[in-house]
A and B are shown apart, each in its own frame.
Chain A
C-alpha cells in the first residue's frame, strides 16, 4: 500500500481508519485498510466490482451492522472518536455521517415528508416554520427546489430517477451531517441526470466531507480531489486524484486506470 504523506489536508482528518478488516462469515471482504478522509474534500473509491469499496464505505457509518454475518475489525474514528466503541450511539453516528445509496430510495411519502423525516426524528426543527425552512434549504442545496417547490405534497416516488436521487441527497443534507457517503449515486441514472449529480457534489464539497464510491473513472477524475484504488479487498493506492490518474505509483493502479483490467 502506498500513501502519499505530503498533503497538508491530512493533518486533521475528518475520519481515520486503521487496520480495518471486514468479514462476512468466514470470508474476508476487506483486508487491513488504513485511510484518512479529509474534511471538506471529495474522496473517491474506485476499483473493479467486488473489490470491497462499497463494503468499506458502509463501515464508515456502521450500515454493515444491518447484515447479521458481517464483522468489523480495526479502528475507525470520527473526529478522533472510535465509532465502533461501546460508547458510540449508532443513531447519532448516522446523523453525523449520512448516506446516499446506489438506487434512489425515497420513502413512499410526500416530497416534503421525505426531507422532514430526518429533522423530525432528530428533533432538529422545533416549529413548523423552522421545519419549512429546513426543507426549503435542503432542497435548494440539492438543486431541486425550483423543480418541486409547487408540488411538495406529491409523492417522492413520482419524481424521475435523477430527481429522486437529488431528493435523497437533500434528505441526507437535511440533518446537517458532517460526512456524506455516496454509494455509486449516479450509476442508475442517465448522463444528463448524472451531470447534475456531479455538479451537486462539486457544490457540496466545500461544506461537507464527501466519500463517493464509483465505477466510472471519469467520474472520479471529475468530482474528487483524492482517490483510493481498491483491489481484491485491499487498498492498493491512495493519493491526490491528479496523481492517481496521471502518474500512479503502483503497477496495478496503472493497469486499472489504463483499462488493462476491471
Chain B
C-alpha cells in the first residue's frame, strides 16, 4: 500500500524519495533504450572500429535522463516550501494571523504538518482554516514540479538517444562526466572548510567590534558574564591568555610528556624488536585504541583518574589539589594520543632504508646503538612531524577536557590546579544562557577562530616537514 501512495496523493509526489525513484526508473529506461540502439549497430561491426561499447552509449543516455532530474529535484524541494508558504499567506484565511513572532510561526507549522499528513489534527483552532490552503498549494506546486521533471527527463533523454550513433564518442562523454562527479566529491570537504572559516571570520569580526583584539589576545583574566549588559562589554573580562595557557599546558605539555616517550618506545619496540607475529597483534590493537570515542576517555579521566590524582596528592600532604586537575585531563589525553605518535614514528623508522641499519650493524654496533645513533636521527623529521600533528589534535580535543577539566580559567603552572581550555570555553559559552548576539557568546567564535588558525598552521608545517623527510629517501 505504501509504495504507490506517492502517486495517489499528489501532495506527496514531490517527496525526495519519490523523485529519487523516478530518476532511477527513467534512468534505467534510458539505459536500456540506449543499449538496445547501440547493440543494433555494433552487432557484426569490428569491435575495434566502434568508438564506444554499447554500455557507454547506455550510460550516456541514462546520465542525461537522471542527472538533470536529480539536480532539479534538489533545487525544487528546497524552493517549493517557500512558494507554498507564499501561496498560503496570500489566501484569505491567512489574513487574521498574528502579524509576527512565535505564535504565527507555530500556527503555520501546525497547518503545514496536518496538510502534509505528518499530524492528524490541529491543536490550535486558528490553524484549522489554513490546512485547506496548504493542501491546495502543495498539490499545485508538486504537480508543476512533477510535470516539469518528467518533461525534462523525456526531452533530454530523447535528445541523448538521437545522438547514439556508431561514430559518437560516448565513452569520452561518460568518462568526463564521471571525472566531474569525482572532482565534485573531492571539493565538498574543501569548500565546507572554507564555509566554516567564512562563518567563523564573520562572527569573530562582530566580536572584535565589541571587544578589542588586544584585550582578547593579551588579557590575563577570562571571566565573561553572559548576563552583563551587552551594549557595554567589559574588555577586561575577555583576556584569553589563561585559556591559551590551559590548552597548551594540558594538550601540548602534560599530554606530550606522556605520549612522546611512550609512543616512541612502542614504535621502537614494534619496528626493531617485536617478532612479526607479535607485531601483527600489537599494531592493530594500538590502532583500535585510536578509534575509541574520546567521550569514553572522558569518563575514564573524570571518574577514575581525576579522583585518584586528588587522593594521591592529599596522601602526600597537598591539601588544595583540585578534583578537576589539569594533570588528570592531560594524562588521559596523552594516553589517547599515544597511537598517533607511535604510528607516525613507526612509519618514519620503517621508512629509513634497511641499508642504514645493515651498515651500522656491520660496523659492530649493537641494536640499541643502531637505533639511537642511526635510525632515530634519520627518522627524526618524520617523528617531529608526527608529534606536531599529535599536538594539533590534542589542543583541538574537546570531550576529555569538557568532562575532566574545569571551567575555571586559572593561570598557573601547578598541574594539580583546575584549569580550562579553549575548547571547554567554546562549549560552555555556546550552550550557556547568553543570547546569540551577546559578546560572551560571540567570544566563542573568536576562540574557535584562533584554535582553527593554530591547528591549521601546525598541520601545514607538520605536513611539509614530513614531505621533505620522505623526499630525502626517495
Taking beta carbons and an 8 Å cutoff, which residues of A are in contact with B? 61, 63, 66, 68, 91-95, 98-99, 101, 103, 105-109, 117-118, 121-122, 168, 171-172, 175
List chain B residues, Cβ under 8 A from A93. 364
Q: Are the CB atoms of A175 and B377 closer together than 8 Å? A: no
B472/A108 in contact, CB under 8 A: yes
Within 8 A of A (CB), among B347-365: 353, 355-365
Selected from A66, A98, A103, the residue in CB contact (under 8 A) with B363 is A98
Chain B residues with CB below 8 A from A91, complex form:
364-366
- In the docked arrangement, what's the CA distance between A185 and B369, Å? 25
Interface hub of B275, B359, B377, B378 (most chain A Cβ within 10 A): B359
Q: CB within 8 A of A94: which of B363, B378, B472?
A: B363
Pairs across A and B, CB under 8 Å, 18 listed:
A63-B358, A63-B361, A63-B362, A66-B358, A68-B275, A98-B363, A101-B358, A101-B362, A105-B355, A107-B374, A107-B378, A108-B378, A108-B472, A117-B363, A117-B373, A171-B359, A172-B362, A175-B364
Q: A103-B355, A109-B377 are in contact. Are A95 and B360 (CB under 8 A)?
A: no
A122 to B360, CA, bound (A): 12
Q: Given A108-B377, A109-B377, do A118 and B364 touch, yes or no (CB 8 Å)?
A: yes
User: By the criterion CB–CB under 8 Å, are A105 and B363 in contact?
Assistant: no
Cβ B355 vs Cβ A94 within 8 A: no
Contacts A68-B276, A103-B355, A118-B363 aside, 7 further interface pairs with beta carbons under 8 A come to: A63-B361, A92-B364, A95-B364, A98-B362, A101-B362, A105-B356, A118-B364
- Given the complex, which residues of A lie within 8 Å of B360, measured CB to CB? 107, 117
**Known pairs A107-B378, A108-B377, A108-B378; A122 contacts B364 (CB<8 A):** yes
Cβ contacts under 8 Å, A117 to chain B:
360, 363, 365, 373
Cβ contact within 8 Å between A61 and B378? no
Q: Is the CB of B359 within 8 A of A94?
A: no
CB distance from A48 to the nearest CB of B (A): 24
Task: Decide if B373 touches A105 in the complex (CB within 8 Å).
Answer: no
CB distance from A4 to the nearest CB of B (A): 31
A94 and B365 alpha carbons, distance in the complex (Å) = 8
Is A66 within 8 A of B361, CB to CB? yes
B359, A121: Cβ atoms closer than 8 Å: no
Alpha-carbon distance between A94 and B370 when the two chains are bound, in angstroms: 14
Instruction: Provide the residues of chain B in CB contact with A106, threshold 8 Å.
Output: 359
Q: In the assembled complex, which residues on chain A have CB atoms less than 8 Å from the CB atom of B359?
A: 101, 105-107, 168, 171
CB nearest to A109 among chain B residues: B377
Across-interface contacts of B355 in A (CB, < 8 A): 101, 103, 105
Bound-state CA distance A95–B362 (Å) is 8
> Are the C-beta atoms of B363 and A171 separated by less than 8 Å?
yes
List residues of chain B with CB within 8 A of the CB of A99: 362
B373 and A121 within 8 A (CB): yes
1/0 contact string of B52-92 vs chain A (CB within 8 Å)? 00000000000000000000000000000000000000000
A211 to chain B: closest CB distance in Å?
Answer: 13
**B16 CB to nearest chain A CB (Å):** 58
**Beta-carbon contacts of B192-227 to A below 8 Å, as 1s and 0s?**
000000000000000000000000000000000000
Which residues of the other chain, B, contact A118 by a CB distance below 8 angstroms? 363-365
Q: Closest CB-CB distance, A225 to chain B, in whole Å?
A: 24
Chain B positions within 8 Å of A107 at CB level: 356, 359-360, 374, 378
A240–B247 CA distance with the chains assembled, in angstroms: 74
Write the chain A residue with the least CB distance to B379.
A108
User: Chain B: which residue is nearest A171 at the CB level?
Assistant: B363
Give the docked Cα–Cα distance between A191 and B173 (Å). Answer: 54
**B-side contacts of A122, CB under 8 Å:** 364
CA–CA, A101 to B355, complex, Å? 8
A68 to B275, CA, bound (A): 9
Q: How far is the CB of B362 from chain A (nearest CB, A)?
A: 4
Bound-state Cα–Cα, A101 to B356, Å? 10
Task: State how many angstroms separate the Cβ of A213 from the closest Cβ of chain B.
Answer: 14
* Distance between B374 CB and nearest chain A CB, rounded to angstroms: 5
| CB-based nearest B residue for A108 | B378
Chain A residue with the shortest CB-CB distance to B374: A107
Nearest CB in chain B: distance from A69 CB, A: 10
Minimum CB–CB distance for A131 against chain B, Å: 15
CA distance A105 to B360 in the complex (A): 9
Least CB distance, A226 to chain B, in whole angstroms: 23
> How near does chain B come to A80, taking the closest CB pair, in angstroms?
20
